[in-house]
A and B are shown apart, each in its own frame.
Chain A
Amino acid sequence: MEFSMKNWKTAGRYILLLVLAALTLTGCAGQENLSAMIPKGEGAEQQYDLIKLTTYIMLLVTAVVIILFVYALVKYRAKPGDKSIPKQVEGNAKLEFLWTAIPLVLIVIIAIPTVKSEFALADVPEDAMKIKVTANQFWWEFEYPDYGVITAQDMYMPVGDKVALELKSKDVIHSFWVPALGGKMDTNPDNVNKMWLQAKETGIYQGKCTELCGAGHALMDFKVVVVTQEEFDAWIEKMKNPENPAPATAKAHEGQQIFEKSCMGCHATNGTGRSMGPNMKGFGDRSTVAGYLELNEENTMKWLKDPEKVKQQNKMPSPMQDLGLNEDQLSALTEYLLGLKLE
């Protein structure tokens, strides 16, 4: 008798799981601008539609299995002491045909929209604005070839229109993922991959690297900043301005000199030039330092003092150990960098 209680508990557990699964499709859907379950772009919507379709069909399949399973458990449980031999059955051709044929039908139902949507997602429009995405250990570079603008970490794009992305990696394989806008695509070192994004609402969307790329993989976040067309045009104009604001303080001025002596070799500041490390134009306007820490003086100092601690295995030489800068110099550098705003 004790066992039968347990059987009911098993059954109850699985029913609970199913209910939970159903709830999720309506309720707890994760965080806005990050979750794939709150799509904010055309691509993400098509993907979410297929996620929902496959989930519903598979919930149906699971439900059939669970009902039969629970029936078998409850009805055909051996009573204690029952040593009788049940009837030996070889099989049942009709039933076996049924559970071969029905799954095939279900597969067709899933396959048709998959094929349709897959080709739609792969159809990158020729005339759309291009952004060249280059992945590096562990940061992202975004180039706007139509405007000659290069930036890092925050990818600006206008709302509404399709944007064509050309993705490539400079070192190992990474993967570009913006769940709320439209899925992911690997960045390979050996070829250019293409995808498009189309955002339906302005906002700042979370981007993630989804291919293991080293110790800093987990921290290789980026942002997609979706703005109106006017704001986007204004941003491009500011990026193209070759001048940066003059350092506001003597300390920032000292920082600029240190930067030009020690950092300029790898970091451009003009918004149009390619460089080894992230382009620093408009650094002071970005949301993060190192791609994940909130941009402020403390965190910038933290990064400069020991980059290896903030992002293990990153490629930047340590300013203190490798470049011989002291803490005061780093402080000046920080002040200069935070003053690099767009104007």
Chain B
Amino acid sequence: MATSYLDKKFSLWDWLTTVDHKKIGTLYFFAGIFYFAVGGLEALFIRIQLMYPMNDFLDGETFNQMMTMHGTTMLFFAATPLLFGFMNWVVPLQIGARDVAFPFLNSLGFWMFFFGALLTNTSFFLGGAPQAGWTSYAPLALDYKGTDFFVLGLQISGAGTIMSAINFLTTIFTMRAPGMTLLRMPLFTWSTVVASALIMFAFTPLTGALFLLMFERMFDAKFFDVAAGGNVVLYEHIFWIFGHPEVYLLVLPAFGIISDVIAAVSRKRLFGYHSMVFATVLIGFIGFMVWAHHMFAVGMGPTVNTVFGIATMLVGVPTGIKVFNWIFTMIGGKVQFNTAGLFAISFIPSFVIGGVTGVMLASSVADFQFHDTYFVIAHFHYVIVGGIVQAVFAGMFYWWPKIFGKMLNETLGKWMFWLFLIGFNLTFYIQHYLGLWGMPRRVFTYLPNQGWDTANFVSTVGAFFMSAAVILLVINVAVTFARGEKAVQDPWYGRTLEWSIPSPPPEYNFARTPIVRSNDPWWYEKMQGKKEMQYAEPLSEIHMPNPSIIPLIMAFGTFIAGYGFIYTSWFGVFLGFGITGVCMFIRSIKDDHGQHVHPEGLHVEKGVHHSA
């Protein structure tokens, strides 16, 4: 067996300085899981408070902090890094690359995210978390000190996110193995392309919106001061020009995971591959033209409302294409019900429920009732929990053996699946009705005798089921690291390139760059009776990047500068940016030619390419 990237003795320094996409993926993934737990705990507090009418577990201000941080954490600090974790782990392997295009930038992107998330969360201990909702609408948000932490934290982590998006686009467009044409790329890689493009176009308006808030708070600017000619609806537009694509840039990689997993567990080629790619691109494209459907009640007038409403309904068409293609991938296949498969399969009906309520919301007239009620909460939790979170779990069980060389425990996995499925349906299904029965969202409590008591109680019970499922997952990970079953190279009889290399892969992934001769290249070679890929090059020295501590220090500089801005300390700002600037200078003048790994010591001839 060749040396895997994990064989080196564990050292903290190694993890802090790594530029290996697999390790950065792992950092992203565990940071994401950590914040998923934090955001989950906040959700649990929310549900405990709403378990009974006029409950006094949390007061209005604390509840608003929990609610704001739940949304912010789950979207920016849990879902985003979890999906970046998968992209880092999987995309280079799926396109036959040895790393990403900019390994240094990759590390910098992670550490920027890490410090941004940390900065926002320290607000809990420094005078109160942001409490104006994850949308942070002006002028309400301007009243709270916590908003500074929201703005600066997202600004820093957002910069990291944009870097990572640029990195993935470059990687995918320039580093594909010979023969891996765009229309042979696996769906997860395709969805990474589209999601990265969405990030580049969506995070820029977010940066703009955050700057407006920051200038208003720090320098008393007048963007949202109506008396001085400001306009608060402007903020809503800028925010949602980011906010709607944000949802799609999270759900598209989830679609990608599901497409790959369903094809693998059905042992069948993805049905309608080309229309799947087209639908992915189309969803990304339409996603930029529907933002105002979050604002039907703002008073934009009937023309704007109906135009945006109908544009929104159109999203249902490519999404429908995807759903039917997934089902027709299973039809005629041999569907395996392992944990990854269960999550991927149950994704379909859960996501369909979230999708059809989305079309209902797009009818602007009906939305005058749905808007800002629990119906909306139910809708987007079916999309995010039933969709994105289930996809993350599916992807986790599916790729874990490749990344860590060990199989997650299937029994625990199945228990977790059922607990989670029951839990999230209990929690969110009833909330559709709560909305129609008149319960607004973001309320810290409600009066008795409005017909909402039982439904809220049921919803809270469901939240406990979900918590139990997540605890099982954590146990599963611990058990697997301690004494998990060793994974073979190709445990799922996979289709894509990552299954053609050892589990876990060597540091350089591919000893020799493979030639891609078809869609599902590894499956194709297997069907040709080959035990390994065809190669594009003879064995030779492999050029790999050097690890570096600079990205961490550089990101730490922005972290310091962030506090400088929050406490309007120019010393802090200059110190922070000074640290970042010095790091940039060192990085610029220092020649780093990387290192060469010699394949002689790797026994490539013997046994790297085990077949399943």
Q: Identify the A interface with B (CB < 8 A).
A: 3, 6-7, 10, 13-14, 17, 20, 24, 28-31, 34-37, 43-44, 46-48, 50-51, 54-55, 58, 61-62, 65-66, 68-69, 71-73, 75-78, 82, 84-92, 95-96, 99-100, 103-104, 107, 110-111, 113-115, 117-119, 121-122, 167, 171-173, 175, 177, 179-180, 182-186, 188-191, 193-194, 206, 208-219, 221, 292, 312-313
A37 to B301, CA, bound (A): 25
**Cα distance, A48 to B131, chains bound together (Å):** 33
Instruction: Decide yes or no whether B450 CB sits under 8 A from chain A.
Output: yes
* A78/B334 in contact, CB under 8 A: yes
Contact with A along B327-364 (1 / 0, CB 8 A): 11011111111000000011011001100110110111
Q: Is the CB of B443 within 8 A of A37?
A: no
Q: Given the complex of chains A and B, what is the CA–CA distance between A208 and B450 in angstroms?
A: 12
B436 close to chain A: CB less than 8 A = yes
**Cα–Cα distance between A218 and B452 once the two chains are bound (Å):** 14
Q: Are A312 and B59 within 8 A (Cβ)? A: yes
Instruction: State whether A91 touches B451 (Cβ < 8 A).
Output: no
* Residues of chain B from 41 to 59 with CB closer than 8 A to chain A in the complex: 59
**B441 to chain A: which residues have CB within 8 Å?**
210
B266 and A76: CB pair below 8 A? yes
Bound CA–CA A95/B360 (angstroms): 25
Q: List 28 A-B contacts (CB under 8 A).
A: A30-B438, A31-B438, A43-B368, A61-B352, A66-B349, A72-B327, A73-B330, A90-B272, A91-B271, A107-B359, A110-B359, A114-B306, A115-B306, A118-B306, A119-B302, A121-B365, A180-B438, A184-B297, A184-B371, A190-B231, A209-B440, A212-B64, A212-B133, A215-B61, A217-B443, A218-B60, A218-B444, A313-B61
The reply to whether B438 and A179 form a contact with Cβ atoms under 8 Å apart is: yes
Would you list which residues of chain B between 469 and 486 have a CB under 8 Å from chain A?
A: none
Q: How far is the CA of A3 from the CA of B277 in the complex (A)?
A: 32
Q: Is the CB of A76 within 8 A of B331?
A: yes
Task: Verify B349–A185 contact, CB threshold 8 A.
Answer: no
State whether the Cβ of B548 lies closer than 8 Å to any Cβ in chain A. Answer: no
From the candidates A10, A172, A210, name the one contacting B140 in the complex (CB within 8 A). A172
CA of A122 to CA of B63, assembled, Å: 35
- Give bound CA distance, A16 to B325, whole Å: 25
Whether A103 pairs with B429 at a CB distance below 8 angstroms is no
- Chain B: residues with Cβ within 8 Å of the partner, total of 95
- Asked if B368 and A47 sit within 8 Å, CB to CB, the answer is yes
Bound-state Cα–Cα, A325 to B346, Å: 62
Contact of B360 among A28, A51, A117 (CB under 8 A): A51
Q: How many Å from the CB of B345 to the closest CB on chain A?
A: 7
B436 near A37 (CB under 8 angstroms)? yes
Q: Which residue of A lies closest to B136 (CB)?
A: A212
User: Is B320 among interface residues, defined by CB-CB distance under 8 A?
Assistant: yes
Q: B321 on the interface (CB 8 Å rule)?
A: yes
Docked-complex contact B365 and A117, CB < 8 angstroms: yes
* A50 close to B438 (CB less than 8 A): no
Contact A114:B356 (CB < 8 A) given known A31-B450, A121-B302, A211-B372: no
Whether A69 and B349, one on each chain, are in contact in the complex, defined by CB atoms closer than 8 angstroms, is yes
Expressed in whole angstroms, the Cα–Cα distance for A82 and B266 within the complex equals 12
How far does the alpha carbon of A221 sit from the alpha carbon of B320 in the complex, in Å? Answer: 40
Name the 10 nearest CB pairs between A and B, nearest first: A183-B368, A30-B437, A215-B60, A218-B443, A193-B299, A58-B356, A91-B272, A31-B451, A78-B334, A122-B302
Also in contact, A71 and B446, with CB within 8 A (given A111-B310, A184-B372, A189-B226): no
What separation, in Å, do the CA atoms of A107 and B360 have in the docked complex?
10
Beta-carbon contact of A217 and B316 below 8 Å: no
Selected contact of B335 from candidates A77, A89, A209, CB within 8 Å: A77
